[in-house]
Structure 1
Amino acid sequence: MDIIYLHGFNSDGEGWKTTALRKHFPTANVQAPDLPAHPLEVQEVIEACIANCTEPPLLVGTSLGGFYAYYYSALHQLKALLFNPSLKPHITLDDRGIGVFKTWTQGRAYHFKRDYLTILGKMKSEADHQQNQKLLYFFLANDDEVLDHQQIPEQFTQSHVQWFPGAGHRFSKFEKVLKLMKKEFANR
């Protein structure tokens, strides 16, 4: 089994969620790249990860990484586990995502530029037109302090949508979901 984990804004590929994926799917090939700031460079990284898979991978994405998992699910018709995904990063990053930052785990410096929002908007539109909702599994915290997910259930009526109290934006119940999903995806 191949799994590609896509981290969120200001995060890194290797962290506690990647460790949890490897723990709960010990025989899987888990790729967890550090994503660059530029969306076109992110596309190159993810395409390379997909090319390294021996079978269609399971995409797992959190926040901005959830958006990229959403995009690649549509592009390649892949199953995706989306944790508090940012489905409108071209809007939500406009007010607080422009500038120079350092990632939480590794302190990797990067510059997220306003120009990237246009690219993300185009990616969103492209994904919306090609999306197979049955491939999407949404795991949402009803106390997400960063993103509002209230419209997801009505927009994705054919997707699996599950709410979790007390998980916050970082989705502290990640391992709980992996335990639940293990049976469904471990035997692919």
Structure 2
Amino acid sequence: MPKMISRPATAVLCCTPTGILKQKWCAWASWYAMPMRRAVTTSSTDFCSMSFSIVYIHGFNSSPQSHKAQQFQRWIAAQHPEITLHIPALKPFPLDAIKQLEDLTALAPQNTGFIGSSLGGFYAVYLAEKFQARAVLINPAVRPFDSLAQYLGENKNFHTQESYVLTQQHVDDLRALYVAAPTHPEHLLLLTQTGDETLNFREAVTHFQRSPAVIEYGGDHAFQHAEKHFQHMLSFLQQTTRL
């Protein structure tokens, strides 16, 4: 059961994030922290020998040049050079983007984990379901086919300045990728911050209420100080090799 606290805190141990809706502002660090530390210390050589791969999936109108993606890339290079990290520059259209991601995953489907930010989190849920893999979801979009309707028409990528036209068909394509009830919610790790100015964090907390979660008070859509969670994220994903 969640531990009750009387003031905002950095983290509270919890099995699932369900109670966040009642306690309104509490932050959670789920059960995964303890077993992940054990996994890293007892079997890191096994993970290395299996050439683990991670696909990092950026968000809407973003790119591999996003701050968080670059942070994670530098951290992997410095701390875990044995891991293969893919950060593809996604096509702006859903089915094209999914095709890119599926092609990458097909290289090693049994030994790949996903990290998805915002719209990338939505894609990560679909891919985790399809390949029976694990995924870390950072301030994920739950129903982007609803929220992106306001962007119909001409758009420009924030990083590349590429222009494109988003149509209703593209929004419908997103709807077709929606996973209403993940088969293995325990394979999804939610990281969200209550200060997200773009998406309502409560929507993700509700949708992934059966998944382990870290819910932090404050922050923003970019997820401030994501780097402090990198090792936990990696350890969670590497449990894929034990399934």
**How many residues are matched?**
185
Q: Is the 8 A contact 2:126 2:177 kept in 1?
A: yes
Bigger CA radius of gyration: 2
For residues 98 and 48 of structure 1, do their structure 2 counterparts lie closer, same or farther at Cα, with a shift above 3 Å needed? same
Aligned to 2:54: 3
TM-score, with structure 1 as normaliser: 0.88
Q: 2:121 aligns with which of 54, 63, 66?
A: 66
- Say if 2:86 is the partner of 1:31: yes
The 5 Å alignment of 1:144-163 reads: 144-163=196-215
Deviations 1:75-132 (A, max 9, x none): 111111101111101101112x2122222222222222121111111211xx225531
For residues 25 and 121 of structure 1, do their structure 2 counterparts lie closer, same or farther at Cα, with a shift above 3 Å needed? same
Q: Is the 8 A contact 2:58 2:64 kept in 1?
A: yes
Query: 1:50: how far off?
Result: 0.6
For residues 155 and 103 of structure 1, do their structure 2 counterparts lie closer, same or farther at Cα, with a shift above 3 Å needed? closer
Aligned to 1:99: 153
Structure with higher RCO (Cα < 8 A, 6+ apart):
2
Gap regions ≥5 residues in structure 1: none
Query: 1:54: how far off?
Result: 7.2
Percent of pairs with identical residues: 25
Aligned to 1:40: 95
2:197 corresponds to which letter in structure 1? E
For residues 64 and 185 of structure 1, do their structure 2 counterparts lie closer, same or farther at Cα, with a shift above 3 Å needed? closer
For residues 80 and 183 of structure 1, do their structure 2 counterparts lie closer, same or farther at Cα, with a shift above 3 Å needed? closer
1:134 corresponds to which letter in structure 2? E
Query: 1:33: how far off?
Result: 1.0
For residues 157 and 35 of structure 1, do their structure 2 counterparts lie closer, same or farther at Cα, with a shift above 3 Å needed? same
The 5 Å alignment of 1:161-176 reads: 161-176=213-228
The 5 Å alignment of 1:48-59 reads: 48-53=103-108, 55-59=110-114
Question: Partner of 2:111: helix, strand, or coil?
Answer: coil
Question: Partner of 1:104: helix, strand, or coil?
Answer: coil
Q: Is the 8 A contact 2:116 2:136 kept in 1?
A: yes
Question: Partner of 1:150: helix, strand, or coil?
Answer: helix
Deviations 1:2-31 (A, max 9, x none): 010111111012332222222332322111
- Say if 2:120 is the partner of 1:75: no
Query: 1:73: how far off?
Result: 0.9
Gap regions ≥5 residues in structure 2: 1-51
Aligned to 2:73: 22
The CA distance in 2 between the partners of 1:182 and 1:47, in whole Å, is: 20
Aligned to 1:123: 177
